[in-house]
Structure 1
Amino acid sequence: MPGKRPLNSTVIRSAKRERKAITLDIKLEVLRRFEGGEKLSQIAKALGLAVSTVATIRDNKEKIKASSQIATPLRASRLTRHRSAVMENMERLLSMWLEDQRQRNVPLSVSIIQEKAKSLFDDLQHEQGESSQTEKFSASKGWFVRFKERHCLPHFKMNSTPPSSNVDTYPEVLKSIIKEGEYTPQQVFNVDETGLYWKRMPEGTFISVEEKAEPGFKSSKDRLMLLLGGNAAGDFKLKPLLVYHSENPSALKGYSKPNLPVIWRSNKKAWATKGIFHEWFTYFFCPAVEKYCAQNDLTNKALLILDSAPCHPVNLSDLSDNVRVEYLHDSTADIVQPMSQGVASTFKAHYLKRTFEHLLETTDGEDKATVREFWRNYDIMDAVDNIAVAWEELKPATMNSVWKKIWPECVQFQSFSQTDNITRLQQNIVTLAKNVTFEEVVEADVGQLLQSHEEDLSNEELMQLEQEWAAGEEESEDAPPALRQLTTEALSVAFSHFEAGLQILTSNSPDDEWKSKVSRAINDAVNCYRELYNEKKRRSKQLS
């Protein structure tokens, strides 16, 4: 066309995306991984390929294998060496275990990883039967180096050193940061992740015994992650962030996620990720701090103290002009971090206590569900409700006293004992358990259950969780649940019923004080629905 300069051929060539040569070695590695049970997306990520490329290689499996047989004997024997299914499964489970350790900021050594690998290999080999007993595996250092390369493992802490003088010096460091920023105890926060097996009963109960005897995935292995935290004053607890392996479980059908008492997020392995944490910080933490400061006539600023877990982004301070983020040293985080000093363990005791209360409420009396029926129907939505109640139960004394090691000057409840508090809760749980016919439960069983939330994943748990996650990957994504909604017409009808009922009570009430008290209580109770009604009417007018 006139007036247009032709594009230079070198420009055209450079605009094209460079083609990456896929060698026979890479193609055979793709096929080996695929036959070992890995997903297309996992293989693509591990080898730095596009998912479509991996799929094409899979579809041309026969041609590629034929090509490998034409290669020189030395090359062919090196490329087509077969690794057993036991080895493939062991390394996959070991990768899951390592990721779980990293998520919980657990320091590791090469010897610990080698020991876990050998243990997994032996258990998997035993499960396979006699046919696989001939294969030997010593978990050598050479294997470990190749394992890291095959699975593209990120850097993780090795050979943890004992805590140094940082434990003693960090309170002084924190004090200088607080003085510099002029923060009050109300403006200093800490949050930490913790795992919760939301459907687990004490060992020895008939529910626990019966579940172990049943085949398939055990519901007591189903774990979720919670991010819990609050300020140093102890008067403000943040709304818990919950990460589950399913975005739309059937139990949540009909519920609006934004209106849940937790912030609901999902990850196929129920782990927090940098993306989830980034979103939480930007859209939940910062606005919550701003609102709290406004309500308490405080300057809108805060100091957030975090450990250096992999899911905590390092640039959070850049995302807000009002929130400063400080990271604890790896060697001291577990020793001084406030939320690790009793908040998580106290919350879990309250959760178990609330679960038993829920069980007793549902099964106590005639024509009520049996304990087995209750537990069979106890789902993740019940757990969410009980998590909210348990979190609400934590008192300011609990939230404030855990700052004793890191900021002793801010602690007001000096005589409060976390240990005594948890002991009382365990005793209450035992009493409730006996009222629910679990006569065999003793305090040691309760303590063991509470401790089990923080234990390493066993080989059996890794195998079962992998099966559950693999099944979840293969299922299609659930359709978004239909939300429960109240129309203006339905609200109007409900109000008319309330008014008719009030009219009957007030016109026949023998006591004027009763009349005003009941009227005030009912009007206060339904006021939130009146606000919803007015908002819907306002929007309707705007649209029209």
Structure 2
Amino acid sequence: MTSWMYPRMSADSFKFENLKKRYNLRITGESASTDNVAARAYPKIFAEIIREKGYKPEQVFNADETGLWWKKMPARTFLNFLFREEMSAPDFKVAKDHVSLLLCGNAAGHMIKHMLLNHAKCSCALKNKDMHLFPVFSHHNKKAWMTTVLFTNWFHNCFVREVKDYLQDKGLEFKVLLVIDNCPGHPKALKVANKNVEVIFLPKNTSSLLQPIDQGVIAVFKAFIFIHQWQGREERALHKQPAWNSEC
């Protein structure tokens, strides 16, 4: 388990460390505040929980949020090269339209229905559409960000139902371990919210190292979304079709 968390140092790693010392560089963000001591100790604690409770891979889930800037252009495209001067102008502004996604999956590789957090209850593109027919658990708030109320709603009305049906189809007992981080939107009250679901929180400042769904799952999901999105735009451009309904 520790192999993917702590890769062996390479020559490039040593070069980077020397550059940091030479130019007094500092890393900011989530990875800069990681607690490496707690992160190294936790895998043994987690393995003991799995062993004592007898959880199977299908019963161990992890959930985490991510932002999706759906209007953001890829960094390396022919359009970026053509419009490099316009994009570097002082008054140029990058599109900041975004939604939030909550992704959840288990150790066996099964992903349950995603949660979509939008700014509006119903956007123009989804006007007069039945949101219950979409393959996402949709909600909204002003900032399109997770709150304790929304997370609790997702837990009871999406996670528990989806996982219960999944384990029933697999012929497994409805006994679940949900691993989440310590962000403010994850209420501690979930520890006693359902007798069949054990909720454990990762140690503080260890998410970038220990969060399973951060180890490539979110990155691959976003890559798939952007590839599908830009392929669709190319096809519409070739057939001269509008990207959205301008009459909304």
Contact 1:307 1:327 in 2 (8 A): yes
Instruction: Give the distance between the partners of 2:208 and 2:227, measured in 1 at CA.
Output: 26
Q: 1:293 to 1:220 in 2, by over 3 A?
A: same
Could you tell me which residue of structure 2 aligns to residue 196 of structure 1?
Answer: 68
Instruction: Give the distance between the partners of 1:208 and 1:351, measured in 2 at CA.
Output: 24
Could you tell me which residue of structure 2 aligns to residue 281 of structure 1?
Answer: 155
Structure with higher helix content: 1
Match of 2:118 among 241, 244, 248: 244
Could you tell me which residue of structure 2 aligns to residue 262 of structure 1?
Answer: 136
State the TM-score, normalizing by the size of structure 1. Answer: 0.37
Answer yes or no: is 1:304 the counterpart of 2:175.
no
RCO higher in 1 or 2 (8 Å CA, sep ≥ 6)? 2
Instruction: Give the distance between the partners of 1:299 and 1:207, measured in 2 at CA.
Output: 57
State the TM-score, normalizing by the size of structure 2. Answer: 0.78
Instruction: Give the distance between the partners of 1:107 and 1:168, measured in 2 at CA.
Output: 15
Corresponding letter in the other structure for 2:64: D
Could you tell me which residue of structure 1 aligns to residue 220 of structure 2?
Answer: 346
Q: How many angstroms does 1:263 deviate by?
A: 1.2
Could you tell me which residue of structure 1 aligns to residue 240 of structure 2?
Answer: 369
Q: How many angstroms does 1:308 deviate by?
A: 0.3
Could you tell me which residue of structure 2 aligns to residue 50 of structure 1?
Answer: none
Q: 1:313 to 1:297 in 2, by over 3 A?
A: same
Could you tell me which residue of structure 2 aligns to residue 177 of structure 1?
Answer: 49
Contact 2:180 2:202 in 1 (8 A): yes
Which structure's CA Rg is the greater one?
1
Instruction: Give the distance between the partners of 2:166 and 2:245, measured in 1 at CA.
Output: 35
Q: List 4+ stretches of structure 1 deviating above 6 A.
A: 207-213
Answer yes or no: is 1:272 the counterpart of 2:143.
no
Instruction: Give the distance between the partners of 2:107 and 2:74, measured in 1 at CA.
Output: 33
Could you tell me which residue of structure 2 aligns to residue 293 of structure 1?
Answer: 167
Corresponding letter in the other structure for 1:316: L
Q: How many angstroms does 1:182 deviate by?
A: 1.1
Contact 1:202 1:208 in 2 (8 A): no
Contact 1:190 1:231 in 2 (8 A): yes
SS at match of 1:359: helix
Match of 2:200 among 323, 326, 344: 326
Cα displacement string for residues 157-207 of structure 1 (whole angstroms, at most 9, x for unaligned residues): xxx4x5242222211111111122110001000011011100111352657
Answer yes or no: is 1:358 the counterpart of 2:232.
yes
Contact 1:224 1:244 in 2 (8 A): yes
Cα displacement string for residues 115-172 of structure 1 (whole angstroms, at most 9, x for unaligned residues): xxxxxxxxxxxxxxxxxxxxxxxxxxxxxxxxxxxxxxxxxxxxx4x52422222111
How many residues align structurally? 214
Match of 1:220 among 95, 106, 111: 95
Instruction: Give the distance between the partners of 1:196 and 1:297, measured in 2 at CA.
Output: 35
Q: How many angstroms does 1:208 deviate by?
A: 8.4
Instruction: Give the distance between the partners of 1:249 and 1:201, measured in 2 at CA.
Output: 21
Give runs of aligned pairs for residues 438-517 of structure 1, distance below 5 A: none
Corresponding letter in the other structure for 2:65: E
- What percent identity do the matched residue pairs reach? 36
Cα RMSD between the aligned structures?
Answer: 2.7
Q: How many angstroms does 1:259 deviate by?
A: 1.1
Cα displacement string for residues 434-465 of structure 1 (whole angstroms, at most 9, x for unaligned residues): xxxxxxxxxxxxxxxxxxxxxxxxxxxxxxxx
Instruction: Give the distance between the partners of 1:185 and 1:275, measured in 2 at CA.
Output: 28
SS at match of 2:188: coil
Corresponding letter in the other structure for 2:45: V
Task: Give 5+ residue unaligned stretches, structure 2.
Answer: 1-28
Instruction: Give the distance between the partners of 1:251 and 1:182, measured in 2 at CA.
Output: 46
SS at match of 2:160: helix
Corresponding letter in the other structure for 1:323: V
Structure with higher strand content: 2
Cα displacement string for residues 92-127 of structure 1 (whole angstroms, at most 9, x for unaligned residues): xxxxxxxxxxxxx9499xxxxxxxxxxxxxxxxxxx
Cα displacement string for residues 506-537 of structure 1 (whole angstroms, at most 9, x for unaligned residues): xxxxxxxxxxxxxxxxxxxxxxxxxxxxxxxx
Corresponding letter in the other structure for 2:203: H
Contact 2:55 2:176 in 1 (8 A): yes
Task: Give 5+ residue unaligned stretches, structure 1.
Answer: 1-104, 109-159, 380-544
Contact 1:334 1:340 in 2 (8 A): yes
Q: How many angstroms does 1:209 deviate by?
A: 7.1
Contact 1:191 1:306 in 2 (8 A): yes
Q: 1:209 to 1:351 in 2, by over 3 A?
A: farther
